[in-house]
């Protein structure tokens, strides 16, 4: 049965509002618990380019924003998301850290960001781009608010190319993960939608093509952990 990945904004927002309490568990499950290591690749990049002001869009419960704020080079981090329930958890988590004063969480639409042009040294999105209703527009908005010469990092789940790894990952995505969802969340459909969204998201070369169409330069990708995730980077 084909699972709907309709990207209607209100539908997606309602879904994430409903699973906010279990989202961290879901993310760790989708990534087999390795998502923390993948985020470090993004923070290393931010540290290398000495990004002082960073926007993390589709910030969810704030893990990426908090990781960025822990860097000595960052002066301010804005975490934007359209789910208020997710942001409430993000604010609570940030308040329990020693870097929370550097973070501002805002309710934002990735397709219509409220920030002025060229506001940030770097923009990031971790595991959220596949939920953009219009991927190219979302990337264009991220580019608009990034300073000239600035950087973007997009971390996303992907389907492995190795056929053995792909077989086992798909078994996990479509067999085991929905069972976890039914046991831990009130929204059963979310745990069907999210694996399907991984399958249907444009991956690797196709995604870098869309980045280039959105105006980014030097678009490239790096496969992580047997291709379960991919880090896309580019410059403005």
The SS3 call for residue 235 is strand
Q: For strands 76-81 and 120-126, give the pairing.
A: unpaired
205 touches 161 (CB < 8 A): no
Please classify residue 205 by burial: count the beta carbons closer than 10 Å to its beta carbon, then call 0-12 exposed, 13-18 middle and 19+ buried.
exposed
> In this predicted structure, what is the pLDDT of residue 109?
95
Judge whether 65 lies within some domain: yes
Instruction: Name the phi and psi angles at 134, rounded to 5.
Output: -135, 100
Q: For strands 217-224 and 146-157, give the pairing.
A: unpaired
Report the distance separating Cα 142 and Cα 127, nearest Å. 15
Listing DSSP states for 118-175 in one string gives T-EEEEEEES-GGG-SSHHHHHHHHHHTEEEEEEEEEEEE---SSHHHHHHHHHIIII
The SS3 call for residue 229 is strand
- Percent pLDDT > 90 in the chain is 71
pLDDT of 6 above 60: no
Judge whether 142 lies within some domain: yes
CATH classification at residue 212: 3.40.50.150
Q: pLDDT tens-digit profile of 24-77?
A: 776 666 666 788 899 999 999 999 999 999 999 999 999 999 999 999 999 999
Rounded (10°) angle between helices 177-184 and 23-30? 170
And the tokens for 40?
Answer: 């470090």
Give this prediction's pTM. 0.90
Q: pLDDT tens-digit profile of 150-188?
A: 999 999 999 999 999 999 989 888 887 777 766 666 666
Judge whether 98 lies within some domain: yes
Judge whether 115 lies within some domain: yes
Report the distance separating Cα 229 and Cα 34, nearest Å. 10
Report the distance separating Cα 150 and Cα 235, nearest Å. 6
Q: pLDDT band at residue 4, thresholds of 50, 70 and 90?
A: very low
Judge whether 4 lies within some domain: no
Judge whether 1 lies within some domain: no
pLDDT of 86 above 70: yes
User: How many domains would you assign to the chain?
Assistant: 1
Judge whether 14 lies within some domain: yes
Count the Cβ atoms, other than its own, within 10 Å of residue 112: 9
| Mean pLDDT value across the chain | 89
168: domain range? 9-235
């Amino acid at each position: 049965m084909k699972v709907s990945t309709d990207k209607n904004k209100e539908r997606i927002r309602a879904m994430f509002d409903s699973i906010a309490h279990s989202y961290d568990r879901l993310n760790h499950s989708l990534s087999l618990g390795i998502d923390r290591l993948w985020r470090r690749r993004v923070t290393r990049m931010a540290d290398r380019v000495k990004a002082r002001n960073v926007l993390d869009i589709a910030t969810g419960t704030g893990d990426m924003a908090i990781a960025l704020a822990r860097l000595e080079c960052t002066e301010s981090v804005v975490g934007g998301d359209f789910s208020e329930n997710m942001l409430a958890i993000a604010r609570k988590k940030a308040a329990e850290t020693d870097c929370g004063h550097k973070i501002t969480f805002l309710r934002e639409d990735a397709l219509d960001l409220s920030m002025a042009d060229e506001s940030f040294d770097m923009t990031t999105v971790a595991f959220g781009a596949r939920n953009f209703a219009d991927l190219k527009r979302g990337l264009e908005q991220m580019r608009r608010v990034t300073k000239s010469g600035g950087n973007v990092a997009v971390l996303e789940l992907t389907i492995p190319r190795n056929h053995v790894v792909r077989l086992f990952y798909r078994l996990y995505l479509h067999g085991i993960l929905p069972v976890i969802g039914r046991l831990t969340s009130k929204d059963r459909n979310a745990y069907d939608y999210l694996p399907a969204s991984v399958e249907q998201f444009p991956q690797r070369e196709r995604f870098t093509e869309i980045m280039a169409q959105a105006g980014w330069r030097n678009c490239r990708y790096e496969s992580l952990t047997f291709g379960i995730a991919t880090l896309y980077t580019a410059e403005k």
